[in-house]
Structure formats: C-alpha cells, structure tokens
C-alpha cells in the first residue's frame, strides 16, 4: 500500500468510525425507518450522500420501509408503513437554512406534521442569511419533542445548539461508501470542479503551467456524449413522473414503491459520473464539499477553495486531521498556482513517478 493510499484510507477510516459511532447511538439493529428527500437532480454530491445513507443503514441492519423525494411524499403512505414512535430520517446535505428554501420548507413541514414519530435529520451544514429564518426554524424544531439534528461542522452545531435543539456532530454520510477505485487514467494535470450555482464564491483564477479541465458536474462528463444526454434525460423523465404523482393522491398513497424503484440506480449512475470526472485529473481543484469527499474516496490529492459560507473549511476543521494530501486555500488565492504545483509533486512522489 502506498503512502498516498495510507493517507486517504486513514482519513476515510477515521470519519467512518465517528459516523457509525454517532448513528449507533441513535439507531438500533432491526429498527424500521422512513427515509425522505431522495435528490432528484444531477448534483453528484447529494446522490453520494443518499447512497452512503443506504449503505450505512444496511450495515447497521436498519430497515427502510418507506422512502420518497420531496415532490411525491405521502403522509398517508408513511403512516401506513410506520408505527407511532418509530423513526423518520431526513436526507443529509447542505440545505438546512435559507440557501435551498424548497428543501427547508419540506423539512419544517415534516417537523410540524410528524410529531408522533422520532425525527432525525441526517448530517447537514447550516446557513441562514437572516435571523428571521433561523428563529422560525428554531420555533418549529422546538415544537417537536423527539427531533435530533446531526451536523457536519462546529459552526452549524453552535448555531442550532444555541436554539436549544438536540444536536450531535457527525461526518458526511457519503463516507459510509468507503474507498472506491478511480474510473480511467488521468488525462489532465488538473480537473477543476467549479461550482456554477449560487453557492459559488466566484473563484476564477488561471493556471498557466499545467493542463486544466474546468467544469461543474451538474452536466454530463466531458468526452461522454451519452453521459451528457443520460444525465439530462433522466431528470426530464423524473420530472414527468413527479408531475404524474403530484397530480394523483392515489399514485402517491398506493403506488409509491414504483416511484422509488429507480432511486438507487439513478444515484449510482450520477455517483459514477462524478468519479469519472474527478478521475480525469492527477489533482483535483474544487470548491464543492463532495468534490473533496469523493476525491478522497478515490485517493486524489486536492487543492480546495470554499463556497460562499465556508462549507469545506468548517468540515475539514471538524473532521479532517491529516492535511498532507489536501491543500486548503479558503478565500486566499494568492498561492493558488504554487499549491497546485505542490499537489502535483506530491502525487508524483507517492505514485513513484518522481525521477
């Protein structure tokens, strides 16, 4: 095993240990749960989280008896399959707060309407752009007598702890997938996975001395026409299915299993598309948290910027002790090219390519 593998495996193993310790304190073998909020979109990270959630629950012997996305949720179906006092799990990620309001509204609705159940929010990052939204969420959350929130960083923990909520620190659920093999050999020095949504901090630096491929994984992978086509068509098909279910309570209440048949295969397709994209670089540059996490799973050295509310930096401060293969820049881009060169040299060194 190479030094590079040791470092990445250690990072993965440390976080997996913490993750399963946390889950083991709130879930038991044989427990029956509902899992809500399948990510019906092309963000690879959210789909990696979903797959990690499914893998973790499987390893723990926890049985999922109902699942849905936020558009086809049926309270009637959930209550038919889950008894009062059993557990409802809400999908983790980075949408607790005002950044992604549709998911926050769904979360608050679940808290308000499912008071007979144990409610667990799987690991999230928190960002509220105003006190009004934060105070409203605190009021809603405190109204539920058995609501726990797992959080991916200390600032998020402190925000919700100050509201009087039951909170725990827990690594991101995608880590439950463990190490995976890259897909294909590198074709560039650097793959720069750069956010194209409203979480971006707007980094637009240039690299002159190395070959770079800059993109976002919200579209299909480069060089794969079928990947671009498939990524788009699956969302369009899902949108059509959602429209049918949204307009029919019969479909939502009684045919929900058909709606969920393709959840995992879609998530795996999106995950492997992300792996293929990141595998194209000897080094990964990214401002996406799951650009960092999946790069770690496939053993890639990284240079990391941050999004607009320091999601990556806060996560690393909380859970990543080894930084040798992970060069964090945060908001400081003054040493960008030098850090990329360091990462490339490190990659050559540990792969045995250094002459």
Domains and CATH numbers, the chain: 3-177 (3.40.50), 188-225+266-351 (3.40.50)
Least confident of 128-132, 149-153, 334-338: 334-338
Percent share of the chain, pLDDT over 90: 65
Cα–Cα dist 271/40, whole Å = 13
Q: pTM, whole model, 2 decimals?
A: 0.92
Report helix, strand or coil for 180. coil
Report helix, strand or coil for 197. coil
Average pLDDT for 314-337: 81
Average pLDDT for 126-142: 95
Mean pLDDT of the chain: 90
pLDDT in tens, 36-71: 999 988 899 999 999 999 999 999 999 999 999 999
Cα–Cα dist 340/355, whole Å = 19
Q: Which helix (H) or strand (E) holds 169?
A: strand 166-169
Give start and end residues of each alpha helix (H) in the chain. Answer: 3-24, 44-60, 75-81, 101-113, 131-142, 154-161, 225-246, 249-254, 256-260, 263-279, 289-297, 311-319, 336-351
pLDDT in tens, 153-196: 999 999 999 999 999 999 999 999 999 999 999 999 999 998 88
Q: Give the per-residue pLDDT at 1.
A: 47
């Amino acid at each position: 095993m190479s030094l590079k593998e040791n470092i990445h495996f250690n990072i993965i193993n440390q976080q997996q240990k913490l993750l399963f310790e946390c889950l083991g304190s709130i879930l038991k073998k044989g427990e029956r749960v509902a899992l809500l909020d399948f990510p019906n979109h092309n963000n690879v990270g959210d789909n990696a989280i979903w797959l990690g959630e499914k893998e973790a629950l499987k390893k723990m012997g926890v049985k999922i008896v109902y699942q849905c996305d936020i558009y086809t949720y049926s309270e009637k179906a959930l209550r038919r399959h889950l008894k009062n006092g059993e557990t409802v799990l809400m999908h983790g990620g980075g949408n607790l707060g005002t950044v992604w309001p549709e998911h926050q509204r769904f979360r608050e609705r679940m808290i308000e309407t499912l008071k007979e159940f144990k409610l667990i929010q799987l690991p999230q990052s928190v960002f509220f752009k105003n006190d009004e939204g934060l105070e409203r969420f605190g009021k809603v959350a405190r109204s539920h007598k058995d609501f726990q929130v797992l959080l991916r960083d200390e600032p998020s923990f402190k925000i919700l702890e100050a509201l009087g909520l039951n909170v725990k620190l827990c690594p991101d659920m995608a880590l439950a997938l463990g190490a995976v093999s890259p897909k294909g050999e590198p074709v560039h020095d650097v793959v720069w996975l750069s956010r194209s949504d409203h979480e971006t901090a707007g980094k637009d630096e240039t690299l002159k001395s190395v070959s770079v491929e800059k993109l976002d994984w919200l579209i299909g992978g480069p060089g794969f026409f079928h990947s671009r086509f498939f990524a788009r068509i699956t969302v369009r098909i899902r949108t059509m299915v959602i429209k049918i279910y949204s307009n029919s309570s019969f479909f939502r209440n009684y045919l929900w299993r058909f709606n969920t048949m393709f959840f995992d295969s879609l998530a795996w397709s999106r995950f492997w598309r992300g792996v293929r994209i990141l595998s194209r670089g000897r080094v990964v540059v990214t401002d996406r948290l799951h650009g960092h996490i999946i790069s770690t799973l496939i053993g890639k050295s990284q240079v990391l910027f941050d999004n607009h509310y320091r999601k990556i930096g806060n996560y690393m401060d909380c859970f990543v002790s080894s930084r040798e293969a992970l060069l964090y820049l945060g908001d400081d881009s003054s040493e960008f090219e030098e850090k990329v060169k360091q990462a490339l040299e490190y990659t050559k060194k540990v792969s045995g390519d250094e002459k």
